[in-house]
Amino acid sequence: MEADTLGRVSEDRIREHIRALEGVRHPVAAPEALERAADYIYDSFQSLSYSVEPHFFRFAGGEYRNIIATRAGRGKPEERLLVIAHYDTVEDSPGADDNASGVGVLLEAARVLEPLELARTVQFTAVSLEEGQFEGPPDEIGLWGSRALAAAAEEQNWQLAGVVVLEAVAYAGTDSVQTAPAGLPIALPERGDFIGVIGNETSGDLVDMFVQAVGRHGVALPLVPLVVPGNGETLKDTRRSDHASFWDRGYKAIMLTDTANFRSPHYHQPTDTIETLNLPFAAQVCRAVAAMVMDVAQ
């Protein structure tokens, strides 16, 4: 059954999702497109047998929504595994890699895992306002949807087994030149043909679980794992996505990333289009995520 599940991952379906979402999705520059993206994600989840609900939050005088698709666990329903991707963009980029690719993988993982009965509850969640949409100090802009979600988790005493964040996961290849942020404690390969797996000290075992799941299920996906001290305060670039919202509240969370601007020349540019992406690579990321969900939520 597990091999069948990973074999069901469809590159074509991931492509369809990215094409449907591609385009500026921004609360000021393109608010209607941001809402259409939310509707598309909601409808995609509803076409499956998940319980789907919006999680509303307010910011800067407006109301926005995260979209949560839930499959209750059969044995330990009180324990949850979250898989998250943000669906907004910066104001002048169509955001195919950042982050329609993450959402496409999220939706396809939800589809292939739908037939399985798992012990723990799994919630596939698309969050809004990850990008730094408004001016302010660097540590106080962006991540608004995931901050609201992490706050709800704490207020409602969610038992989180872990959080997996998909952050730009489809720009990769042997011709991609890989660079690294200053101070990174490990050497990165010169070729950008891997996915980064980033955790903090609290989440080290979750990083290990992901690496082990990829090996156990035979997913052909090159990995570079990294566990950073504390909550990544000394390596700010490792905090640049929704996992940081959960780190800051003491939850285990990892980010899967193609490393964005440290690899892609199209990061936050008008050229971030589907034509630049490696969709077979994205499909392998999807298989890896599905493998980890099966192992952690079993």
Q: Could you read off the pLDDT of 62-93 as tens digits, one per residue?
A: 999 999 999 999 999 999 999 999 999 999 99
pLDDT-derived band of residue 2, with 50, 70 and 90 as boundaries?
low
pLDDT-derived band of residue 185, with 50, 70 and 90 as boundaries?
very high
Residue 37 has pLDDT above 70, yes or no: yes
User: H/E element holding 250?
Assistant: none
Helices 204-216, 279-297: crossing angle, 10 deg rounding: 110
Question: For 228-242, what is the mean pLDDT?
Answer: 95
Considering the chain, what is the average pLDDT of its residues?
A: 95
User: Can you read off the two tokens belonging to residue 194?
Assistant: 């891997």
What local confidence, expressed as pLDDT, does residue 141 receive? Answer: 67
| pTM of the entire predicted model | 0.96
Give Cα separations from 111 to 13, 98, 248, 251 (angstroms). Answer: 10, 21, 30, 26
Residue 163 has pLDDT above 60, yes or no: yes
What local confidence, expressed as pLDDT, does residue 132 receive? Answer: 76
Q: What are the φ and ψ backbone dihedral angles of 62, each rounded to 5 degrees?
A: -115, 165
Domain range annotation of the chain = 2-297
Q: Is CATH 3.40.630.10 what the domain over 2-297 is classified as, yes or no?
A: yes
Closest by CA position to 178, among listed 269, 270, 283, 260? 260
Classified as helix, coil or strand, 201 is helix
pLDDT-derived band of residue 133, with 50, 70 and 90 as boundaries?
low
Classified as helix, coil or strand, 260 is helix
What local confidence, expressed as pLDDT, does residue 239 receive? Answer: 95
Q: Exposed, middle or buried: residue 253 (CB in 10 Å: 0-12, 13-18, 19+)?
A: buried
Residue 264 has pLDDT above 90, yes or no: yes
Closest by CA position to 183, among listed 129, 137, 238? 238
